Amino acid sequence: MWINLGRHILWLACWLGLSGASLAQDADWRPVEPENLLLIKTVYGQVAVELNPVFAPNHTKRLQGLAKAHFYDGLSFYRVIDGFVAQGGRNEGDLPDWPVLKNENDRPAKGLNFVPTGSPDLYAPEAGHVGGFAAARNPKTGRAWLMHCVGSMAMARDTDPDTGDVEFYIVIGPGTRYLDRNLTIFGRVIDGMEFIQKLNRGTRAIDNGVIADPARRDPIMSMRLASELPAAERPAYEVMRVDGQAFADYKTAKRVRDAAFFYRRPPEVIEACNVQAPVRRAVGDDGAP
């Protein structure tokens, strides 16, 4: 029991979380389209984001356009608040050559393959997943929207809801659900979130998180679409389908913790943000970048 204690600790908790993913069949997965796969190169490593044209078609097009124009290359994460957001993609004061976008904070629920978690949610009438993303739904209004989770990528804006253009933020801490339906989420980090967590922070109390010293601002070395890369350099990801048995099993394992480790059985609750669809590198992907 003592040998390798370190490896045992919380092992069960992890194993339960992963078993669904590792046992899933190929039919349980869908590829991430290369034109929706945004690759952000940081000094710490490469971050992969899946764009979401279903909820945010115009923001997705904007990001595709910005990536193709190499707009972000050399800009920085200049406002980073621990436990909140990493924001970047503009030099302060710059008026970019890209017009403002109408917000895409929510959309009709109709036509979406919305898979409810079956658990209650503190911020929405119904919580679930659409295409791997944590989403919420209001049956009364018939609207659906993406949730602010750790890893959500969204467009920053001014007070007017239709003023987003190029500047983005990535959520790096819990407790941002109050931003739901107020800002437009257009993607989620599916790999390399640990590199976003390594970004240098600013001080919230002094400069509202803006990093005063430009030398401490971590650069966006490049931001590219996988579709723009030579085929040999493209990473390829797959996301678990949320309407299949594999994902149902995954959620059950997260909800029902019946291993001996849990001598006090936790409440059978899951939160959509914390059980987003598992992601894997596709077979044959050499993981070059």
| Contact flag: residue 93 with its own copies (CB under 8 A) | yes
Q: Which of residues 185-204 bind its own copies (CB under 8 A)?
A: 193-194, 197-198, 201, 204
225 or 239: whose CB is closer to its own copies?
239
| Contact flag: residue 129 with its own copies (CB under 8 A) | no
| Contact flag: residue 26 with its own copies (CB under 8 A) | no
Contacts with its own copies, 4-23, as mask; x by CB under 8 A:
xxxxxxxxxxxx--x--xx-
Q: Write the DSSP string, 24-76.
A: --GGGEEEPPGGGEEEEE-SS-EEEEEE-TTT-HHHHHHHHHHHHTTTTTT-E
- Nearest-angstrom CA–CA distance, 32 and 51: 9
Identify whether the C-beta of residue 44 lies closer than 8 Å to the C-beta of residue 197: no
Identify whether the C-beta of residue 246 lies closer than 8 Å to the C-beta of residue 24: yes
* Chosen residue from 97, 111, 178, 213 binding its own copies by CB under 8 A: 178
131 or 151: whose CB is closer to its own copies?
151
Q: Which of residues 30-69 bind its own copies (CB under 8 A)?
A: none
Q: What element of type H or E holds 144?
A: strand 143-146
| Contact flag: residue 214 with its own copies (CB under 8 A) | no
207 or 233: whose CB is closer to its own copies?
207
Q: Which stretch binds its own copies (CB under 8 A): 59-67, 224-232, 234-242, 253-261?
A: 253-261
How many Cβ atoms sit within 10 Å of the Cβ of residue 111?
9
Query: Quick check: helix, strand or coil at residue 101?
Result: strand
Q: Which stretch binds its own copies (CB under 8 A): 63-71, 108-116, 226-234, 271-279?
A: 271-279
DSSP 22: H
